[in-house]
Amino acid sequence: MKQSKKIAATGNHIKLSGVHIVKQTMKLIVFFGLLLASSYTWAQIGPPRGAGGPTERVELLPGSDSLVITNEGGVEVRRVVNNVRFRHKGAVLHCNLAIHNVASNLIEAYGNVKIVQGDTITVTGDTLYYYGDTRLAIVSGRKAMLKDKKSTLTSRKLVYDMAVGIASYPAPGRTVDKDNVLTSEEGFYNTRTKEFTYYRNVKIVNPKYTLTTDTLFYNSITKWSHFQGKTRIESKDGTLVANKGRYNTETREAIFNTRTSVDNESYTLTGDSLFYDNLKEIGFAKGNVEILAKNDKTLLTGEEGFYRGKEGFSKVYGRALVRSVVQADTLFIRADTLYSYENKVDSTRRLIGNKNIYMFKTDFQGKCDSLVYNTSDSTILFFRNPILWSDNYQLVADSINAYLVNNKINRMLLKSNSFVISEDTLLNQHNQVKGRTIQAYFNSENKLRQVLVDGNGQSVYYAVGEDEKLIGLNRVECGKMNIQFLDNRVKRISFVGRPDGELIPPQKIQPDKRKLEGFNWRINEKPTRAQTIWAEVPPAAEPVSKNELKQGKGAVGAINR
């Protein structure tokens, strides 16, 4: 049988509803006595919960406008209206209307719902289901909100486990702190550790950047964000794209464990793993590293790379390679280590190679142990045992400066112990010029057109008549020489000073007369494109002869590896 009781506060009088006034009055007296004895602890009536002992009951605090109690099947349910307050485990619940199931320790609350937990956490919403036995609060409404001293979390629905301090939202939600606005379709917040976990369409908006990802773990104290899935960080300084890693929203440091790319208006830095400091513009990458300078289309690649953006400095090592694209041709340079220095004022770049350098371009190739390439004037400086090849020419010296015009080799300056060899493919012989300093000039078809020798000049060249018959072998020594070439042959030669030479008839040419001291035609060492880009292993250098060591301290000999 269903019984109902209604209590309404109306001044100093108690108004009762029912058909038997006397019986109801007696019941009211008994009920009021129980009320005073229990100090209004309505929810403390009931058997203990669980094997671990009694469960603390939800306590109704005084001050509400009305209370209606119903009892159906031995289950007591209380309906409390206006100025409603409950207390449980140090938290106070406010609302306009509450339905309290005493047996299950469950509260349904409606209208201006608010939970105040200590002096740090406030939860608000339109409706609430509170399970007292587990201390689980489910708040919903147009704007369900959890607020503490660090963050404000809002959604249409919030689930707050007050026992462990974890709030979550199964519907799209929003978190705001002093620096960030974070949104996602699902999220969790640990109010004790200040850690957030977000899923699906996660987005952080900061005054300095915007971060989007699929899954994010964020600690609002340490400011570190850990994320998985496709991630994008955009700022005025550029864009970072990754799949897995972590990012500090305060220091703007980023650490990534999968293929990651940093892109801005000046360069792109990419690697299989990457550390990047946005404030200092410092980046370090490992595994298939790529550093692309956009203004001159220069690409550095290698196994590891380092970048300091404010200085315009890059370093790549481990199968290091630079590709410099000029017009339709590409210059390839490989080395043990490559350095790049960018002048941001005039957007020029200086590339430096160190150790075991191979260079390939369609019109010339080379090897050395130290190299400097200035992109501003298209000048390449070769040091430490350099050797270059262009068409049918081989050039060796202690140092060589190569000057490009319109992306083609225009001039080379050979300093100290210089040696130029020109192959005559028809005669299967080699014209040779050596001296202290040599300037070699090339025509538009990349063929040697002139050689100027200054100091200790020597030459060996084959004189050929118009009928393509060999006239003889010219051997000349002179301090200065001016030699002009046509189709890989000496066309004209002039001397400054008194030359010392001889023309040897073909039948009297001895093998030792065919070569100048230090001659070594090393065409087998000429780098190919595949060798230069690390796709093939280059051949070993030829052994250095005693004459070569004597001639130029190894500058005209094989590179000692």
Give 377-414 pLDDT, tens digit per residue: 889 999 999 999 988 899 999 999 999 888 888 999 99
**Residue 83: half-sphere exposure toward Cβ, Cα within 13 Å:** 8
Lowest mean pLDDT among 29-38, 282-291, 395-404, 464-473: 29-38
Q: How high is the pLDDT of residue 448?
A: 86
Question: Is 511 buried (19+), middle (13-18) or exposed (0-12) by CB count in 10 A?
Answer: exposed
**Separation in Å, CA 466 to CA 469, 471, 491, 516:** 7, 10, 11, 26
**3 state DSSP class of 216:** strand
- 249-270, pLDDT tens digit by residue? 888 898 998 999 989 888 888 9
pLDDT at 51 > cutoff 50:
no
| pLDDT category of residue 27 using cuts at 50, 70 and 90 | very low
Class of domain 381-532: mainly beta
- 53-103, pLDDT tens digit by residue? 457 889 899 988 999 989 878 888 999 999 999 999 889 999 999 999 998
**3 state DSSP class of 75:** strand
Single pTM value for the model: 0.71
Q: Where are the domains of the chain?
A: 1-46+55-130, 381-532
Answer yes or no: same fold for 1-46+55-130 and 381-532: yes
DSSP E strand boundaries for 53-119: 59-60, 66-72, 75-88, 91-101, 106-117
d(CA 3, CA 474): 132
pLDDT at 521 > cutoff 60:
yes
Q: Which of 160, 148, 79 is nearest to 119 (CA)?
A: 148
| pLDDT category of residue 326 using cuts at 50, 70 and 90 | low
Q: Which residues are within 8 A (CB) of 434 and not within 5 positions of it... i.e. 6 or more apart?
A: 418, 419, 420, 453, 456, 457, 458, 459, 516, 518
| pLDDT category of residue 542 using cuts at 50, 70 and 90 | low
Q: How high is the pLDDT of residue 96?
A: 95
Q: Are 384 and 370 in contact (CB under 8 A)?
A: yes
- 279-307, pLDDT tens digit by residue? 888 989 999 999 888 877 888 999 999 88
**Residue 386: half-sphere exposure toward Cβ, Cα within 13 Å:** 30
Q: How high is the pLDDT of residue 20?
A: 32
pLDDT at 148 > cutoff 60:
yes
Q: Which own/partner contact pairs does 184-191 have at CB distance under 8 Å and 24+ positions apart? A: 184/216, 187/153, 187/155, 189/146, 189/151, 189/153, 190/164, 190/165, 190/166, 191/120, 191/121, 191/146, 191/148, 191/165, 191/166, 191/167
> In the CATH hierarchy, which fold is given to the domain comprising 1-46+55-130?
lipopolysaccharide transport protein A fold (2.60.450)
| pLDDT category of residue 197 using cuts at 50, 70 and 90 | very high
Mean pLDDT, residues 431-444: 92
